[in-house]
């Protein structure tokens, strides 16, 4: 299937149906835990409809970047503001970073990462210590994903799971 140009745009409410398709595909392909559609819906609504969040609400906020049309999204990245457990420093963390299988031969994955990096660069103009953390939690093609991310960002750790998740494909040895 021919991919659209690898150009990211901000997601709009009319992208919600296609975003759900990507969330479900990602969950089927790589999730270690079951998909909680209510939780995903809450996050997605907060990002797509930020005007509905009360000013004193301290819940998740973020951005979604997409590639493709509202009728056929090819890729998406959802980044939310948060902090690691040991710090109150706010950072941008990924909740979704996924390219539809039909479009994996495109540059979409690199473009989504570049979009996130650009968002951070803009925020760093006023907040020089701001950072983004993107992780890879996957049961399939994990090493290929790690290699892609190593070419785009600095590696800062790893994730280990016990017991072995169903559907896990052992990583190739480096």
Name the DSSP letter for residue 6: S
CA distance 112 to 75: 8
Instruction: Give the percent of the chain with pLDDT over 70.
Output: 97
Predicted local confidence at residue 146, as pLDDT: 87
Predicted local confidence at residue 40, as pLDDT: 94
Token reading at 120: 């951070």
Q: Give me the residues paired with residue 98 across strands.
A: 76
With respect to residue 79, please indicate whether it lies within any of the assigned structural domains: yes
With respect to residue 3, please indicate whether it lies within any of the assigned structural domains: no
**What integer is the mean pLDDT of 47-70?**
94
Q: Any idea what the CATH number is for the domain that residue 118 is in?
A: 3.40.630.30
**Is residue 97 a contact partner of residue 134, using CB atoms and an 8 Å limit?**
yes
Helices 37-48, 16-30: axis angle to 10 degrees equals 140
**What integer is the mean pLDDT of 125-152?**
89
The two beta strands, 62-69 and 9-10, are antiparallel
> Does the pTM of the predicted model rise above 0.85?
yes
What confidence tens digit (pLDDT) does each residue in 73-123 have? 999 999 999 999 999 999 999 999 999 999 999 999 999 999 999 999 999
pLDDT(141) > 60: yes
Number of H helices, E strands in the chain: 4, 5
Residue range(s) defining the domain that contains residue 15: 9-152
Looking at the structure of the chain, the number of domains it has is 1
Phi-psi region of 92 (alpha: psi -120 to 50; beta: other; left: phi over 0): beta
With respect to residue 62, please indicate whether it lies within any of the assigned structural domains: yes
Q: Is the dihedral of CA 86, 92, 96, 98 positive or negative?
A: negative
Greater model confidence, 3 or 37: 37
Measuring CA to CA, which residue among 25, 142, 119 is closest to residue 64?
119
Residue 174 pLDDT class (50, 70, 90 cuts): low
With respect to residue 124, please indicate whether it lies within any of the assigned structural domains: yes
pLDDT(16) > 90: yes
Measuring CA to CA, which residue among 119, 118, 104, 169 is closest to residue 140?
169
With respect to residue 158, please indicate whether it lies within any of the assigned structural domains: no
Name the DSSP letter for residue 165: P
Q: How many CB atoms lie within 10 A of CB 123?
A: 16
With respect to residue 57, please indicate whether it lies within any of the assigned structural domains: yes
């Amino acid at each position: 299937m021919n991919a659209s140009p690898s150009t990211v745009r901000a997601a709009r409410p009319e992208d919600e149906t296609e975003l759900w398709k990507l969330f479900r595909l990602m969950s089927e392909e790589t999730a270690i835990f079951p998909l909680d559609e209510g939780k995903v819906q809450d996050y997605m609504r907060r990002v797509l409809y930020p005007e509905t969040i009360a000013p004193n609400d301290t819940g998740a906020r973020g951005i979604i970047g997409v590639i493709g049309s509202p009728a056929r999204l090819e890729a998406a990245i959802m980044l939310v503001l948060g902090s690691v457990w040991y710090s109150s420093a706010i950072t941008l963390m990924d909740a979704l970073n996924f390219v539809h299988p039909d479009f994996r031969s495109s540059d979409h994955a690199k473009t989504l990462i570049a979009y996130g990096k650009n968002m951070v660069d803009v925020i760093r103009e006023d907040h020089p210590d701001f950072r983004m953390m993107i992780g890879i939690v996957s049961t399939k093609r994990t090493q290929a994903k790690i290699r892609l991310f190593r070419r785009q960002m600095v590696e800062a750790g790893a994730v280990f799971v016990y017991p072995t998740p169903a559907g896990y494909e052992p990583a190739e040895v480096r």
